[in-house]
């Protein structure tokens, strides 16, 4: 059933963004604390800091490229941070958890990841989003 109408415009998740920063910085410092050779430690640190950009792009907030996700009569669409609006598809890699929906969306040949915690949108919208995503992942 794909007839669930959903409009998810999440508020910035500042706490989740701070947690991502802390986790990536801790992971970047770990090789140095563990005593790895400088070349290995530098490579691991660079990887952690590059991954931070990808993580921040997936969290609702100022670094995210997506602003809204909408489903009207089974048709999914995205609102981008630059104001563009277009059709989207929900990838089967999307996962639904109790208080988090990890969306994998495809639009215009590009993939977008979006982590939507329950507190970022209203409880009713979050329930509708979870149901719609579960229906897609099971089809």
Domain ranges of the chain: 15-58, 65-138
Q: Which helix (H) or strand (E) holds 63?
A: none
| 37 backbone dihedrals φ, ψ, rounded to 5° | -65, 150
Evaluate the CA torsion angle 10, 112, 101, 138 in order and state its sign.
Answer: positive
pLDDT at 1: 47
pLDDT in tens, 42-96: 999 999 999 999 999 999 999 999 999 998 888 899 999 888 999 999 888 899 9
Q: How far is residue 14's CA from residue 105's CA, in Å, rounded to a whole number?
A: 22
pLDDT in tens, 6-38: 899 999 999 999 999 999 999 999 999 999 999
pLDDT at 138: 66
Q: How far is residue 19's CA from residue 15's CA, in Å, rounded to a whole number?
A: 6
C-beta of residue 101 within 8 angstroms of C-beta of residue 95: yes
pLDDT at 58: 94
pLDDT in tens, 83-132: 899 999 988 889 999 999 999 999 988 999 999 999 999 999 999 999 88
Residue 70's contacts (CB-CB under 8 Å, 6 or more residues apart) are 6, 7, 8, 76, 77, 78, 79
Indicate the SS3 state at residue 112. strand
Which residue has tokens 């059709």?
A: 87
User: Which residues does residue 116 pair with via DSSP β-bridges, in sequence order?
Assistant: 101
């Amino acid at each position: 059933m794909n007839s669930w109408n959903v409009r998810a415009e999440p508020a910035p998740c500042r706490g989740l963004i701070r947690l991502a920063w802390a986790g990536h910085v801790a992971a970047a410092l770990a090789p140095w604390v563990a005593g790895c050779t400088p070349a290995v430690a530098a490579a691991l640190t660079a990887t952690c800091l590059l991954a931070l950009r990808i993580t921040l792009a997936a969290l609702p907030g100022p670094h995210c490229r997506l602003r809204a996700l909408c489903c009207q009569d089974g048709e999914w669409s995205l609102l981008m941070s630059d104001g563009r609006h277009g059709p989207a598809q929900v990838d089967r890699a999307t996962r639904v958890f109790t208080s988090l929906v990890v969306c994998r969306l495809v639009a215009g040949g590009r993939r977008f990841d979006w982590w939507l915690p329950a507190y970022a949108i209203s409880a009713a919208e979050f329930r509708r989003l979870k149901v719609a995503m579960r229906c897609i992942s099971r089809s």
